[in-house]
Amino acid sequence: MRAATFSPAPLRAMLAAAAIRNPTVNLADYTSYDALDLADLVRRKETTPQELLDLAFAAHDAVNPKINAVIETWREDAPAELAQMPARGEFRGVPFLVKDAVLHMQGRKCEMGSRLAAGLVAPEDSHLMARFRKAGLVAFGRTASPEMAYSCSTESVFRGATRNPWNPARTAGGSSGGAAAAVAAGIIPMAHANDGGGSTRIPAACCGLFGMKPSRGRVPIGPDADEGLNGLGVELAVSRSVRDSAALLDCVEGAEAGDPFVIERPKRPYLEEAATDPGALRVGLMIDPFGGGKTQGVVADAVMRVARDMEALGHRVEIADARLGVPWDDFILANARIWTVNLAGWIDALAAATGRTIDETTLEEHILACYRYGAATSAIEFASALALRNAVSRSLGDWFTRNDILMSPTIPTLPIELGWFAANSKGLDGLGWTALTFSVTPFTPAFNFTGLPAMSMPLAHDAASNLPIGAHFAAAFGREDLLFRLAGQLERAMPWRARKPGVWAGG
């Protein structure tokens, strides 16, 4: 009788099956790690991308019905997605979610939170999506956006309201509220977000996360566009740790062929900057917003405490004398013109692509009003808005030649109640809607207008309401390095990751 020939293949299959039945990482572990931690586990073969994806789906199933953050998942296509994963990548094997706005993923819907675009499928990856893939991220679903991403609360007729994991009666922010709620609730450690007036930083503040808006031109958005919203819109992510956002920006920064300009590349990786002491910085503190409004007492007190802690770290913090250089009403008008003219173009293109009419059956009342306002804006009025953008950029740019950081609250109140916008938006035109959104989020839009980098950090928390409070920091053009140095220092000095919301996938 011949001796049996040993083959390792059946043994490997048995071991793989046992690994699936007995996962090396449980859900509590999964939700405790940031994205770089998870990638490191994959790199050291202590878990597998499949196991992490299974955990992401389990986390989604546990919490998403309570918060409505994720509007679509692609379970049946997971094997194909994993098969396309590169052999290397900073985030190889880490589950990821993309926002239902601007970013294109080949073969996936991009509906802009709107009935007008329902079912519209992207024919190719955008440049940024290709870079996400190259980094090893495994996208398995889409997060909610308000219609046309033009709101600071993620509520839409098409997809319903996204709820804040800290208090489901409150907003998760917008327009990247679905992304922020998903990360805050533990579905994934980091998710794609974009920011045209605060849409990354506002949800980060509402949900207790880190959110960075890079400088204009730092992250490519092509090939379908050169600049989002004439330079107001910028892409990146929300995350639970500073280093995840830093490492992600390392993976995706830099121009593509055909981009309108090339910003100076960083001198060293942002991940290294996040671990570097920033030294003593000149910090201007602004408690009340540019427009003359007042910040809620609990928020003002919290940001003042953060400022005092920064002084203890060696920074020189003084009341800021930063100015927009133009009247607040003119600033709102210019933003309204830029936003609504772009919006009108998007809506016309979506209607042409879907064959649907532009009316009350396809657009929400306030977005339809914005469309009509943008369509009626003249070329001369639009050009004057761009000229005013230049004036604001010169004013704040000059301020940053004498100062390192402009600090403020991210939003002037605790997260507002869901339904507030619906109750207050009736009968508004495009200018009125812009003024309403800016009244709730007056600190963030100036940095989209000017293209300066800015970030929100969850450095404070209101015990009475159990809601996070974001502190906002901006720097001179191209100085993400400085922001990441400061962010890393503040994260170490005032850590936040031990705080967990009531809706939490980790149990």
Q: Which residues are catalytic?
A: 99, 175, 199
92: left (phi over 0), alpha (psi -120 to 50) or beta: beta
What end-to-end distance do the CA atoms of the chain give, in Å?
Answer: 57
Tokens of 439: 């009244």
**Cα–Cα distance, 476 to 398 (Å, whole number):** 9
Q: Which residues contact 263 (CB under 8 A, 6 or more apart)?
A: 215, 216, 217, 218, 255, 478
Q: Which residues contact 198 (CB under 8 A, 6 or more apart)?
A: 152, 213, 410, 441, 443, 444, 445, 448
Instruction: Give the number of other Cβ atoms within 10 Å of residue 386's Cβ.
Output: 13
**Cα–Cα distance, 310 to 217 (Å, whole number):** 30
User: Do residues 407 and 283 make contact, with C-beta atoms less than 8 angstroms apart?
Assistant: yes
Question: Tokens 């990354």 map to which residue?
Answer: 200
**Cα–Cα distance, 431 to 332 (Å, whole number):** 8
Among the residues of 22-100, which ranges form H helices? 27-32, 35-43, 49-67, 78-83
**Cα–Cα distance, 406 to 289 (Å, whole number):** 12
**Cα–Cα distance, 191 to 176 (Å, whole number):** 9
Instruction: Give the number of other Cβ atoms within 10 Å of residue 289's Cβ.
Output: 21
User: Do residues 443 and 408 make contact, with C-beta atoms less than 8 angstroms apart?
Assistant: yes
User: Do residues 404 and 341 make contact, with C-beta atoms less than 8 angstroms apart?
Assistant: no
What is the SS3 assignment for 296? coil
User: Do residues 416 and 171 make contact, with C-beta atoms less than 8 angstroms apart?
Assistant: yes
Q: How far is CA 259 from CA 21, 37, 127, 204, 477, in A?
A: 48, 33, 11, 28, 18
Strands 405-409 and 282-285: parallel
Counting beta carbons within 10 angstroms of the beta carbon of residue 414, is it exposed (0 to 12), middle (13 to 18) or buried (19 or more)?
A: buried
Q: What are phi and psi of 119, to 5 degrees?
A: 85, 0
